[in-house]
Structure 1
Amino acid sequence: MSIADSSPRSALAVADWRRTSRHLVTRLRQRRLPLLAVLVTMAGAGAFGLVTPRLLGSVVDLVAHGGDTAEVLSRVGWMAAAAIAAAVCAGLGIATAASVFESVLAALREDMIEKVLGLPIARVEEVGSGDVLSRATDDVDKVGEAIGKALPSVLMSGAGVVVTVIGLAALDWRFLLVVVAILPIYLTTGRTYLRLAPPVYAQERVAAADRAHHVLGPVQGLPTVRAFDLGARLSVRIDANSWAVVARSMEAAVLRSRLFGRLNLAELIGMSVILAVGFVLVGDGSLTVGATTAAMLFFLAMFEPIGRLMYVLDDLQSGAAALGRIVGVLDETTPTSADATSDDDGSGLVAERIEFGYTAGHPILDDVSVTIRPQEHVALVGVSGAGKSTLAAVLAGIHPPTAGTVRLGGVEVATMRDAARAHRIALLTQEVHVFTGTLRDDLLLGDPDADDERVWQALEKSGAADWVRTLDDGLGTVVGAHGHEIDSMTQQQLALARIDLLDADLVIVDEATADAGSAGAGRLEEAAATVLAGRSALIIAHRLSQAAAADRILHLDSGRVVESGSHDELVAAGGGYSEIWAAWMRGRDEL
């Protein structure tokens, strides 16, 4: 996909709230006992929390009736003990909740990463790496915030509200009128918020994903951006997507402001009801001033968890929107794959009548047929834009063809499991990644069971052994991010060593020597020839010396194979390849 047209064509799914809720409930059911302990300890914290306001009310009555200091101090002591007990219960509840929900988050993160890494490469490229990256990072972080902050608050608030309502009823059932007065406000506010917030937060997450996509594309293609002076054009696109995120965030902020305003209104009405009921009850002698004081303190104690519950709706909605995007990835289906143990009929790679295009109506490959027999080396030549790299990606199984078939050993490549295909077809491009860790670990990605002797054999073939011997820690040298710096040619040599360790049936080399200088390219060509010896290979030739050394050459032009034959045959034919060869030789003579 080009940088100029980097919008994803088919986004990953977003699970609806029912599917998202079922997923979360399923996770929590696996931790029933710890979750029950959370509920019990938080209910205990709420119950002990009511002791202080009730005793404060009794202190008011004692003072009003001339009670002695000893009784007041006794109640103060009980209040202190209750406060300590409430703090202990709350601490245990929060700690247990953190353990439960962090384990849920860890499992969710592991499943998410495993699913993303298991997605077909074609699917990742189709939806855009920005969308996948935002779900694996930003969305997981949002769910982590909701799980770590919102869910424990919901449990604690729910337990506190229930216990407080029971406490009000114990003082006098008429105090429950406050529940009748404020419940409709809370219900209306909650329902309105739950109706309006999900699409706003979902759109905010989508906008954030689009921003990540449009930022990541230019960063990954920075050389192209600079070469074609696309910086200003792409900055406008990034700016537009950034402001889209701001607009969605402002919509969410307006919703929050309205929520908080209605909560303050409910608090005012609730306190007014408590005062009115208390005034009537104290007036007719049904209740004491101290009990009414306790009722007001109870209400304030109840308002705090209710308010906290409403406040965390914001985090819950944001987390639910993010969780829906994650569950959408977890629900992503992958095509049925062939068994890795399928028999090989010895036919090599056979591609018949391949057609492919990144977008409908814009074919890049048209009716291409390629055969690479076992141990045969085939070179693919053609001008820039002819479709060489696209054909390599289709033959490697990265992109399934829109028409035609690609088979390796009689098995259709598109139906192979990714792991099986990666062990049978290796694709080496100009872009080589050095993984963080020791050099040994980096190389053993090709064959985790290889011993050091086998690793050194691969390094000798790739021409990197002498360089490794110069390192103080040898194979134990840390490479990758913040590790030992490796130049581009050595990276290619290490990649060749990994391919030798992988021992794939077919190796596709996509202009892997293009970025090396003349001397470096020659060394890489020799190393590649050594590693590829005895294996089938398709070599996209940046240097025609590679094509001349191949068993057979395919000349690709505008997505079609226009010539096929050995180097001598095609030069003698006087066609397009002959002209390319003559031009290349003139260039070498001028040097």
Structure 2
Amino acid sequence: MADRWAMAGIVLLTSLAAVAGLAGPWLLGRIVTLLEAGEATTGSVDRLALAAVVCALVQLVLTRFSLRGSHRFGERALARLREDTVDRALALPPSVVARTGTGDLTIRAAMDVTTVATTLCVAVPEVAVAVAQILFVYAAVLLLDPLLGLWALTALPLVWGSVRWYLARARAAYLAEGEASSDAAGSVSATAEGARTVEVFGLAARRVAEADRAIGASYGAVRRTLFLRSVLFPVNEFAHVLPVATTLLAGGWAHLDGRTALGTVVTGSLYMWQLTDPFDRLLMWAEQFQRSGAALARIEGVALAAAEPVPGVAQPADDRIEMSGVHFAYAGGRDVLTDVHLRVHPGERLAIVGPSGAGKTTIGRLLAGVDRPRAGGVRLGGVPVADLAAAGELGGRVVLVTQEHHVFLGTLRDNLTIAAPRAGDDELRAALALVGAGWAADLPEGLGTPLGPGGTRLDPAQAQQLSLARVVLADPHTLILDEATALLDPATAREAERAMAAVRADRTVVAIAHRLQTAHDADRVAVVDGGRVVELGTHDELVASGGRYAALWRSWHGGA
């Protein structure tokens, strides 16, 4: 309701400003008419000139408050858009995030929202004022002299044709430009994030070629939209001058024939000259509106992905996790898991081992609800895990801990309460103490110490302890550890292992192991190879069987 009244006030102020702007030319035309008729006096001219100045000032004040109200309205709408975009991005299923890519989401949440913001806060107010001025000016000319009014309309077909040609092509072109920009950002982002891998495997030339391809496509898309503007702007610049010229010519002939007063010709010409500025503003913002429309469509794409219907999710009957007949393939690829059957009992410690590329991480992602199987089922207490994740019902039950331990920009308290918004400071300190994060007590501002750029930077071990403290606060019944210490140096890894030992206590643990010592200490071991679970049993049973796990154990133990 408040926005409706605000919009009504904006429309009223804009209309009054446009009417006030019409008074000046009419008063100047009146002065010319009096002078032509020989009826002008110094007093009458001064009064009319003073009235024209007053009307100009009134228009300035009304326009100022109209734009102020429009900007405030736009900022409120922008605030809602930003909040909705963040909420929708956070509500995206993990599989959608992984498929979309961080580069594309970053472009949508940053550049696309900024584009829409410029439209809402700047373009819309200015265009609203411009449209009101144009409508009132044309109405005034038609009332002043219908013949002049008809001549003043000669430019409209040219403007209409060029704008229609532009609009028919602009939306697709700007959508393509946004998509190409996202691809370029995603390519550069992927290279930066995987810089170590690129360096180790000598992929620099390949990644540069990929970046060149993406940037080249972005450059081509930008050139396409630039071509559209290079046609639109010159045509419409000419269309701006045309009404003034036709009004002067038609009015001049009519005045010579004695059908129109000179003051009327002057007033009509000044009215047409007044159209130059609003038409310029419309043209200037025409491109912005097309960019904004494409950006808004991409933002709404996030909303549609986040709004995918989630079926009613029942509560799990127990904490048992079961994979039955699971087949899984990443988008457009072959199956990386084939007919996987696996059951994890509450309180059990299960280690998943196997060669690189066997499918261990994929199993972890399926157990954590990040991905959904192509066939078969992954269930927690009889309920599909992916459905629980999509409905936001999984976080307090199953948590995936990977090699990546993100430190959010904010205080230490902010970073911890992400997992437990209602937790008090004593609970936060207890969680830090449990994972051995003694360094937190030495921070200059305690829990209020800012972390990240401009604040305290955490080393990898501290970042992982922070991540594990979040796990403690979330208090899930099942932990999935995906080689969480693989990227740490040995000393740091030992500290992290001690912290994880505290977190694993009294919980179901599925450990994707790169060190077989983890498998040795587990209740059971699942050996994955070629996308299948090929062996399952205790450490002693598998060593005694002389199969693949026994070979891995002998190789690892012999080299230890």
TM-score (norm 2): 0.94
Q: Which AA in structure 2 matches 1:247?
A: G
2:222 to 249, 269, 282: 249
Q: Which residue of 1 aligns with 2:361?
A: 389
Q: Matched residues in 2 for 1:272 and 1:230: separation?
A: 64
**8 A Cα contact 1:525 1:546, kept in partner:** no
Q: Which residue of 2 aligns with 1:536?
A: 508
**8 A Cα contact 2:6 2:69, kept in partner:** yes
1:336 to 2:293 alignment = no
Q: Which runs of 4+ in 1 moved over 6 A?
A: none
2:106 to 133, 137, 160: 133
1:515 to 2:484 alignment = no
Cα drift, residue 452 of structure 1: 3.0
1:442 to 2:409 alignment = no
2:250 to 268, 274, 277: 277
Residue 172 to residue 413, structure 1, CA distance change in 2 (3 Å): same
Residue 397 to residue 96, structure 1, CA distance change in 2 (3 Å): same
Q: Which residue of 2 aligns with 1:421?
A: 394
Q: Which residue of 2 aligns with 1:11?
A: none
CA deviation profile, 1:540-571 (whole Å, cap 9, x unmatched): 12222211111111111121112111112222
Q: Which residue of 2 aligns with 1:525?
A: 497
Q: Which AA in structure 1 matches 2:529?
A: D
SS at 2:338's partner residue? strand
SS at 2:396's partner residue? helix
2:448 to 476, 486, 491: 476
Moved more, 331-340 or 164-173: 331-340
Q: Which AA in structure 1 matches 2:116?
A: V
Residue 545 to residue 313, structure 1, CA distance change in 2 (3 Å): same
Runs of at least 5 residues in structure 1 that lack an aligned partner in the other structure: 1-28
**Number of aligned residue pairs:** 557
Q: Which residue of 1 aligns with 2:463?
A: 491
1:562 to 2:534 alignment = yes
Q: Matched residues in 2 for 1:486 and 1:236: separation?
A: 35
Moved more, 385-394 or 450-459: 450-459
Moved more, 482-491 or 111-120: 482-491
1:453 to 2:423 alignment = no
1:60 to 2:37 alignment = no
1:363 to 335, 339, 343: 335
CA deviation profile, 1:185-221 (whole Å, cap 9, x unmatched): 1221221121122222221112112212212221222
CA deviation profile, 1:457-516 (whole Å, cap 9, x unmatched): 32232121x222232333232223332111111222222222122110110011112233
Cα drift, residue 121 of structure 1: 0.8
RMSD between aligned residues: 2.0
Q: Matched residues in 2 for 1:501 and 1:320: separation?
A: 42
Cα drift, residue 530 of structure 1: 2.2
**8 A Cα contact 1:115 1:329, kept in partner:** yes
Q: Which residue of 1 aligns with 2:403?
A: 430
Q: Which AA in structure 2 matches 1:336?
A: V
1:282-361 matches, cutoff 5 A:
282-332=255-305, 333-339=307-313, 342-346=315-319, 348-361=320-333
SS at 1:422's partner residue? coil
Q: Matched residues in 2 for 1:410 and 1:378: separation?
A: 20
1:79 to 49, 52, 61: 52
Q: Which residue of 1 aligns with 2:376?
A: 404
Q: Matched residues in 2 for 1:435 and 1:460: separation?
A: 20
**8 A Cα contact 2:350 2:523, kept in partner:** yes
Cα drift, residue 308 of structure 1: 2.5
**8 A Cα contact 2:145 2:264, kept in partner:** no
Moved more, 129-138 or 430-439: 129-138
CA deviation profile, 1:391-425 (whole Å, cap 9, x unmatched): 10111110011111111122221211443112111
1:229-268 matches, cutoff 5 A:
229-268=202-241
Q: Matched residues in 2 for 1:537 and 1:266: separation?
A: 72
1:376 to 2:378 alignment = no
Q: Which residue of 1 aligns with 2:549?
A: 577
**8 A Cα contact 1:355 1:368, kept in partner:** yes
Q: Matched residues in 2 for 1:371 and 1:557: separation?
A: 17
Q: Which AA in structure 2 matches 1:382?
A: G
Q: Matched residues in 2 for 1:311 and 1:518: separation?
A: 60
Cα drift, residue 132 of structure 1: 2.1
**8 A Cα contact 1:131 1:212, kept in partner:** yes
1:99-118 matches, cutoff 5 A:
99-118=72-91
Q: Which AA in structure 2 matches 1:200?
A: A
**8 A Cα contact 2:33 2:263, kept in partner:** yes
Q: Matched residues in 2 for 1:485 and 1:533: separation?
A: 29
Cα drift, residue 337 of structure 1: 4.4
Q: Matched residues in 1 for 2:284 and 2:459: separation?
A: 53
**8 A Cα contact 2:329 2:335, kept in partner:** yes
SS at 1:353's partner residue? strand
Q: Which AA in structure 1 matches 2:534?
A: V
Runs of at least 5 residues in structure 2 that lack an aligned partner in the other structure: none
Q: Which residue of 1 aligns with 2:175?
A: 202
**8 A Cα contact 2:93 2:389, kept in partner:** no
**8 A Cα contact 1:168 1:176, kept in partner:** yes
Residue 433 to residue 195, structure 1, CA distance change in 2 (3 Å): same
1:226 to 2:204 alignment = no
